[in-house]
Amino acid sequence: MGSGKRFAVLLCAEDSDYVKKRYGGYYGVFVDMLAEEGETWDVFKKVLGICFGHQILCRALGGKTGRAISGWDIGLTTVHLSPSSSKLFSSLKIPTTLSIIECHRDEVREPPPKAEVIAWSEKTGVEMFRYGDHMMGIQGHPEYTKDILIHLIDRLLRRNFITDSYTDELKANLGKVEPDKDAWKKLCTSFLKGRL
């Protein structure tokens, strides 16, 4: 039997047929990444918002979101942890810059009152924020694989959200860096399980 603790992730994306077939849906991708044996993942105690979930948390808490001024952010992005978050995450022994997969064209423009911005990137000013010790938003996708990203790029192209040339550029850049999945897993699970 598990520890008696329960965890949840706020999912705000519709599962594509591909992700349902290959991974059992995005929920399964998150649980595979975060859950430890015997845990139950169905009740909100701490809330971790990913991508659109990050934006929803922001709006729900009084912040502002909108179209990204710099346009689409798709691919691998280097996220810089703020000095205050470096202290917060010091027990995790993770680097102060982390690579993450991104796929968004909206962003948090103004964090909620009383929220702390804990990470940023060259394209996105609020990559992560923390609200008290019970809510955290991450703009990128710590759970994504390059395989999922390639599928999403193709899907965006088919729906005419991006051009052929941009698709080619994105795919050409994918082989250069790997996302820091282990560090993101440690960060997310430590937040959700109250280890920070």
pLDDT tens-digit map of 16-37: 899 889 888 887 888 888 888 8
Q: Is 6 within the bounds of a domain?
A: no
- Tell me whether residue 8 is in a domain: no
Catalytic residue among 102, 104, 141, 188: 141
Query: Half-sphere exposure of 180 toward its Cβ, with a 13 Å CA cutoff?
Result: 18
**11 domain-assigned:** no
pLDDT of 170 reads 95
Exactly one of 102, 107, 143, 188 is catalytic; name it.
143
**What CATH number corresponds to the domain at position 158?**
3.40.50.880
Is 103 annotated in the active site?
no
Residue 184 lies in a domain: yes
Closest CA to 90 of 192, 190, 178: 190
Give the pLDDT band (50/70/90) at residue 190: very high
85 domain-assigned: yes
The candidate with the shortest Cα–Cα distance to 13, out of 118, 109, 103, is 103
| From 36, 51, 102, 107, active-site residue | 51
Q: Is residue 9 part of a domain?
A: no
**Joined tokens for residue 119:** 């990470």
Is position 2 within any domain?
Answer: no
- pTM, to two decimals: 0.79
Inside any domain, residue 3: no
Give catalytic status of residue 37 as yes or no.
Answer: no
pLDDT of residue 82: 93
How many domains, in total, are found in the chain?
A: 1
CA distance 12 to 15: 9
Residue 54 falls in the annotated catalytic set: no
State which residues form the domain around 44. Answer: 17-192
Q: Which residue has the tokens 């991974």?
A: 23
pLDDT digits (tens, 9 = 90+) for 135-146: 999 999 999 999
